[in-house]
Structure 1
Amino acid sequence: MERPATYLDHNASAPLLAESRLALVDALALTGNPSSVHQHGRALRALIDRARSDVAKLAGAERDQVVFTGSATEAITQAIVGGARAFNVDAIAVSEGEHGAVLKAAEATGLPVQLIGLDADGLIKVDDIARMLEQADMVGMRMLVAVHQVNNETGVVQPMGRIEALVGASPHYLFVDAAQAIGKTTLDFASRAPDLMAVGSHKIGGPTGIGALLMKGHADQVRLIPGGGQESGRRGGTEAAALVAGFGAAAKAFPEHYRAADVGELVRFIEAGMREIAPDLVVFGAAAERVGNVSNFAVPGLKASVAMMGLDLAGISVSSGSACSSGKVGPSHVLKAMGVAPALTECALRVSFGWSSTKQDAEAYLNGFGDVVGRHRARHGVAA
C-alpha cells in the first residue's frame, strides 16, 4: 500500500483553506470590474472591501492601510523601491538574513546598501542599526531600514521592539517583511512604528498571486505601479477580486485552524525524536525565540540534497530553505550570516508545520528521517 504524502513545507506555501477555496470559486462566478459603478461592479467591490477588513484585522491595521498587491514580493518591492523614491532616502539598510526579495529590492534602488549583521542565534544585530543611523545623522543622510519580523528559514523572531524604538524615534523610515509573521504572531501595525509592512496570502492558507502592503498615511505616496487609480491610487491595475476574496477568507479563517501551541508541540516532538536518532543534530536558532512552527537543522555529514531526495522518495516534502530560490539546494545565506560553517550549511534542512499538520505527519517524518540517517550511516560505515 502506497504511503500517503506528508507535507511539511508550510513556510514555502500553506495548503489552501476550504474557506479560502470557496470564496475564490464563488468570486470567479461573478462578472464585472470592481471599479465599475453598476451592480456587477459593486458586487465585486463589496468582496474586496470585506477582504480588506479581514486582512486588516489579522494584521492589526486600519482598513484603509491595506493595499492589495500581486504578491508579498511585489509589496516588498513597492515598499523598498517605491519607498526609496517617495521618501527621498540616501541609502538602504537591510539585514544579512533577509529574504531574497528584500535583498534584491534593495539592490534595485541603485542606492548604497548597508548590511546589518546577524548574531549566532539568528537575531538581527540592533547595535549595527544604531551605529548606521548615528553615522547617517552625522552627515545628514536619510535611510530606509528594511528588516524581517520572523526569519523564513529559522523561524527566529526578531527584536522588533528594540528596532522600532531606534528607527521610530528618528527621521529615518522602517519597512518590515511580515510574510512569515502574519497569523503566527501578533501584528499591530496601526499602533506600532513601521511605516510599511508586507504580508502575503499563501503563507496562511490563501491563494498564491495576492499579497498586501500595509501603509501608514504619510506613506501614501509610496507607489510602484501607476494605473487607473485602483487601490486609492496606490497600486494600479484592475484588482484580482477572486484572489483578494480568497486572501480575505484565509485571513478570517486562519486563526480558527492554526493552533500555535499544538504546532509548537509537533516541532518539539520531532526535534526530540531527531536527537534520539542523530545525537549530533544541530538546530539553528534554538537559543532564540522562534515562532514555533519551523525547525531548521543539520546532521553533520548528511548533505541536504541527499536527505531531501530520501525523504521525497518516502513521500515527505521538506525544504532546504527558502522556496523562492529557483528550487535549488544550496548553502543558505541566512546560516552563513549566523557564522555557520559552510560544510554544515550544506546539510541544513527546514521542516515547517502549519494549520493542516497532525501528529501522524510528525511520526511519518521521524520514520522517514530515521531511514535516511540509517542509510547514511550504513553507507559511510558509521555505527548506530
Structure 2
Amino acid sequence: MTRPAIYLDHNAASPLLPEARSALVAALDLMGNPSSVHGHGRALRNLIDTARGQVATLAGAERKQVVFTGSATEAITQAIVGGAKAFASTAIVVSAGEHAAVTKAAEATGLPVITIGLLPDGSIDLDQLADVIFGAEGNLLVALHWVNNETGVVQPIGRISAIVGPTRHTLFIDAVQAFGKLPLDFATSAPDMMAISGHKIGAPAGIGALLVKAHADVVRLIPGGGQEQGRRGGTEATALIAGFGAAASAIGARYATADVPRLINRLEADLKSAIPGVAIFGATRLGNVTNFAVPGVKNATAMMALDLMGLSVSSGSACSSGKVGPSHVLAAMGVAPELADCALRISMGWNSTVDDVNAFVAGYQSILERQRARQGQAA
C-alpha cells in the first residue's frame, strides 16, 4: 500500500521536520540514563536541558516551567486530575468544544463538570463563563482550549484570562494547536498551566509538555524516582525530547517559509469560486486550517474517495479510534446535523504547497461532479 502523496492533516500530526529527525537519530546513538552522574548520563542530561530551553523559548516560558511528558494527553491529564487534587477543586469547568483529552480527564476527577456553550461563530460563551466563575462558591478548575482542533477558531484568551485570572480559581489552557503558530508568552500570562504537544509541530510522536507556574509546581500525576524535578516520574525519553527541542527551534522559520495562511486563504477562495453554497465554519480562525461542508456530500464518502486519489484529509479529531462520526464541536455551534455530516477539515503546515491546494480542489470537484452525475441518472 503506497502512502498518500498529499498530506493535508497537520492538525492530527505534522510530518517530522528534518531538524527533528537529525536530533532524534543523533540522540539514539547515545547510551545511558539521563539521571546517572557519569559521563554518559551527563551527555543525555545536556540534551534534555538544551531541548527544555528550546521549547521554553517557543512557549515564552522559563526553562524551569517546562515539564516533559509522554504526550499532550498526559500533560492535560496531569493538569486536570493532578490539579484538581492539588488545589482541592470542587468542580471542573470545560467548554462544549473541548478535545476528548480534556473532557475525559475532567470526568476522571469524579467532580461535577460544568460545560460552557459555544456561540455560532465557534467562540466560547464568555457571558456564561463569567456567570459560572463569579457565581461559584468552591474552587473551580477551568480547563479551556486556545485553538479548536476541528475548526481552528482562536479563543479570546485575553478575555478568558481577565475573567478567571484575578479569581481564586485555577486556569488551565490546552494550547496544543496554538503552540508554534501563535505567541504563547506563558511566563507573563494569566494561565496557571498549559499543555503543548510535539507531533503537532513536526517533532516525533510520544512527547509533550506541561507548562506550570511556580505555585502550580505541586501538581503531580505520575510518581517516580524524582525525574523532571520530581514533577513527572519515569526515565526521560531523551531522543524524543531532543527531537521536540529541535522542532521547537525550527518550526517558526519553516512555517513562515510555507506561508500557510496564504495557502488556506487560496483554498477557501477557490472553493467559494468553484462550489456555490459551500459553508465554512467558524470566525477568527487560525491560519492553517479550514473546516467546510458542501450540502449533500457526506464526509465519510468524500474522505474515502480523496484517499484513493492520494489526498489525506479528515473530518475532525484523529483521537476517536479512527471513527468518522458527528462533530460535537459543530453541534455545539448549532450547525445542522445533515450539514455537519458533510464537514471536512483541511489543515496545512510546514511542508504544504500551492500544488497541494490545487490538487485538493480538483479532487473535491471531481467527487462533486460524479455525485451530481449519479443523481442526474437516478432522476
State the TM-score, normalized to the length of structure 2: 0.98
Please say if residues 82 and 220 of structure 2, whose CA atoms lie closer than 8 Å, have aligned partners that are also in contact: yes
Tell me the equivalent position of 1:343: 338
Secondary structure in 1 matching 2:262? helix
Tell me the equivalent position of 1:216: 213
Shift of the alpha carbon at 1:4? Answer: 6.9
How many residues are aligned here? 377
Please say if residues 196 and 213 of structure 1, whose CA atoms lie closer than 8 Å, have aligned partners that are also in contact: yes
Tell me the equivalent position of 2:93: 93
**Amino acid corresponding to residue 37 of structure 1 in structure 2:** V
Alignment partners' CA distance in 2, 1:134 and 1:183 = 33
Please say if residues 258 and 349 of structure 2, whose CA atoms lie closer than 8 Å, have aligned partners that are also in contact: no
Tell me the equivalent position of 2:274: 277
Alignment partners' CA distance in 2, 1:18 and 1:39 = 28
Alignment partners' CA distance in 1, 2:205 and 2:110 = 29
Please say if residues 258 and 351 of structure 2, whose CA atoms lie closer than 8 Å, have aligned partners that are also in contact: no
Please say if residues 19 and 253 of structure 1, whose CA atoms lie closer than 8 Å, have aligned partners that are also in contact: yes
Structure 1 unaligned runs (5+)?
A: none
Shift of the alpha carbon at 1:3? Answer: 11
Tell me the equivalent position of 1:147: 144
Tell me the equivalent position of 1:107: 107
Please say if residues 76 and 174 of structure 2, whose CA atoms lie closer than 8 Å, have aligned partners that are also in contact: yes
Tell me the equivalent position of 1:76: 76
Q: Deviations over 1:14-71 (max 9, x none)?
A: 0000000000000000000000000000000000000000000000000000000000
Please say if residues 258 and 353 of structure 2, whose CA atoms lie closer than 8 Å, have aligned partners that are also in contact: no
Alignment partners' CA distance in 2, 1:188 and 1:372 = 44
Runs of 4 or more, structure 1, over 3 Å off, are: none
Identical pairs, percent: 66
Q: Where does 1:181-260 land on structure 2 (aligned, <5 Å)?
A: 181-259=178-256
Shift of the alpha carbon at 1:273? Answer: 1.2
Q: Deviations over 1:309-328 (max 9, x none)?
A: 11111100000000001111
Tell me the equivalent position of 1:324: 319
Tell me the equivalent position of 1:44: 44
Alignment partners' CA distance in 2, 1:266 and 1:176 = 28
Alignment partners' CA distance in 2, 1:64 and 1:58 = 14
Secondary structure in 2 matching 1:51? helix
Among 298, 303, 306, the residue aligned to 1:308: 303
Alignment partners' CA distance in 2, 1:380 and 1:79 = 51
Structure 2 unaligned runs (5+)?
A: none
Shift of the alpha carbon at 1:190? Answer: 0.2
Alignment partners' CA distance in 1, 2:3 and 2:270 = 21
Tell me the equivalent position of 1:135: 135
Shift of the alpha carbon at 1:271? Answer: 1.0
Secondary structure in 2 matching 1:377? helix
Please say if residues 184 and 260 of structure 1, whose CA atoms lie closer than 8 Å, have aligned partners that are also in contact: no
Tell me the equivalent position of 1:29: 29
State the TM-score, normalized to the length of structure 1: 0.96
Alignment partners' CA distance in 2, 1:260 and 1:283 = 26
Please say if residues 124 and 155 of structure 2, whose CA atoms lie closer than 8 Å, have aligned partners that are also in contact: yes
Alignment partners' CA distance in 2, 1:260 and 1:175 = 32
Secondary structure in 1 matching 2:200? helix
Secondary structure in 1 matching 2:210? strand
Please say if residues 3 and 314 of structure 1, whose CA atoms lie closer than 8 Å, have aligned partners that are also in contact: no
Q: Deviations over 1:226-264 (max 9, x none)?
A: 000000000000000000000000000101100288211
Please say if residues 260 and 292 of structure 1, whose CA atoms lie closer than 8 Å, have aligned partners that are also in contact: no
Among 355, 359, 369, the residue aligned to 1:360: 355
Secondary structure in 1 matching 2:101? helix
Alignment partners' CA distance in 2, 1:3 and 1:255 = 27
**Amino acid corresponding to residue 60 of structure 2 in structure 1:** G
Tell me the equivalent position of 2:264: 267
RMSD: 1.4
Shift of the alpha carbon at 1:276? Answer: 2.4
Alignment partners' CA distance in 2, 1:106 and 1:377 = 45
